[in-house]
Amino acid sequence: MLEAIENLRSNEQVRMPALSSVMAGARNLHTEDKYSYYQESSGSFDDYFPIVEDSGVPVRLMIVILIGFVVLAGPVNLVLLHKLKRRTWFLWTLPAISILTSAVVFATALLNEGFTPTVRRDVITILDHQSQQATTVGALGIYAPVAPGNLEFSAHTEVTPLLSSRGQDSGSNRGINWTKGQLFTGKWIASRVPAHFAVRKSESRKERLSVTWKSGTPTVVNSLGTDITYLCLADAQGNIFEATHLRAGQRAELQRVAGKQTVINYLNTNFLLSTDKDTPESEYPKNLSAGTYLARLDDSPFMENPIGRGQLKTHAVVLGVLTKSEAGP
């Protein structure tokens, strides 16, 4: 992370693949020129890598409920008990109204967000067909109305918590158990507080995009383990072929694109490349290298969901490097 920050300082981020928004967050929140020990940070990682659109408390509704409690528990309660000549009932009516108000507040929060956590995963995988090695880098964000407990990662995953750098985090009995994989114990995720992690993994994988050629046209079988929403493939001569919406296990013949298609519009996003407004577009690589493909996936089989449930928001891309035979006749 420190190396990444130094690269950002030196304006080398224009060619840095992936997650420039998270890198920008690290730069702005973990450098001395952003704030000092006596100065509050002006933001959080969630400003750069938001998990949910609105995680705020419904303040106005809560204020209305509290005003209603004050009026009901005070003047209304006293006037009613006075008319009934049961003033001593105030000793139990006030606690009863308080309990009822607490239940209303809890139900309001439950209806507003529910119990389902939200997990955001933005990952890029470089998949080498020759060596069957997959290297995945990405960012993970978790937001839970109720703290989910332990987090489970594989033994191959390098996990870097993106915590506050001010040194005031108590740790909440956090720990890691490496007996079987990686089990993050303790309060790594707090209720209603976004948590962020940088993740990296290198491992042997059998997933691949099977490619065969006939009359100069490639036919592929989606063996990546999940649906492909967009596929762009460059043969050994740099000719571009593409397809959309390939289900897992589906076989399809790719369509050739006239000329050498630029993929800058797809790649030039906060997810894949820096979008610094001062960076001329001419400095970005515009075409896929010969013998490679880029696949955008509905899910990521290369990066786990550490809580095993919840609403998944996944932005996953595979950059595949084909063997010589797969790259074309």
Query: Which has the higher per-residue pLDDT, 18 or 240?
Result: 240
Reported as a single tens digit per residue, the pLDDT across 29-66 is 555 444 444 444 445 777 778 888 765 566 787 788 88
Boundary residue ending a domain (49, 78, 113): 113
- Per DSSP, helices labelled H in the chain are 2-9, 20-29, 59-71, 77-84, 90-113, 264-267
**At what angle are helices 20-29 and 2-9 packed, to 10 degrees?**
90
Sheet holding 182-185, edge to edge: 151-153, 182-185, 175-177
Same domain, 182 and 104: no
Query: Which has the higher per-residue pLDDT, 188 or 109?
Result: 188
Structure-token pair, residue 47: 């400003």
Classify residue 22: in a domain, yes or no.
no
Reported as a single tens digit per residue, the pLDDT across 183-233 is 999 888 888 888 889 899 999 999 999 999 998 899 999 999 999 998 989
Sheet holding 157-161, edge to edge: 157-161, 195-204, 133-143, 118-128, 311-321, 292-297, 228-234, 240-246, 255-256
Q: Which residues contact 160 (CB under 8 A, 6 or more apart)?
A: 1, 197, 198, 199, 200
The Cα–Cα gap between 286 and 19 comes to 18
Same domain, 80 and 135: no
Reported as a single tens digit per residue, the pLDDT across 138-196 is 889 999 888 888 999 999 999 988 876 555 555 568 888 998 889 999 888 888 888 88
Q: Which residues contact 70 (CB under 8 A, 6 or more apart)?
A: none
Q: Which domain holds residue 230?
A: 115-329
Classify residue 72: in a domain, yes or no.
yes
The predicted pLDDT at position 138 comes to 87
Same domain, 65 and 197: no
Partnered with residue 246 across adjacent β-strands are 228
Classify residue 96: in a domain, yes or no.
yes
- Count of C-beta atoms within a 10 Å radius of residue 233: 26
Residue position matching structure tokens 């006239």? 258
Boundary residue ending a domain (91, 113, 135): 113
- Of 4-18, 216-230, 260-274, highest mean pLDDT: 216-230
Classify residue 26: in a domain, yes or no.
no
Number of domains in the chain: 2
The predicted pLDDT at position 246 comes to 95
The residue count of the chain comes to 329
Closest of 317, 226, 227, 224 to residue 272, by C-alpha: 317
User: Where residue 108 falls among pLDDT bands split at 50, 70, 90?
Assistant: confident
The Cα–Cα gap between 116 and 34 comes to 35
Same domain, 70 and 168: no
Classify residue 25: in a domain, yes or no.
no
Same domain, 66 and 97: yes
Which amino acid type is present at position 241?
Answer: F
Classify residue 257: in a domain, yes or no.
yes
Closest of 312, 316, 314 to residue 296, by C-alpha: 316
What separation in angstroms does the CA of 249 have from each of 23, 258, 272?
A: 35, 27, 26
Is residue 306 over pLDDT 60?
yes
In DSSP notation, 170-187 reads --TT-EEE-SSSEEEESS
Mean pLDDT of 102-125: 82
The Cα–Cα gap between 65 and 141 comes to 32
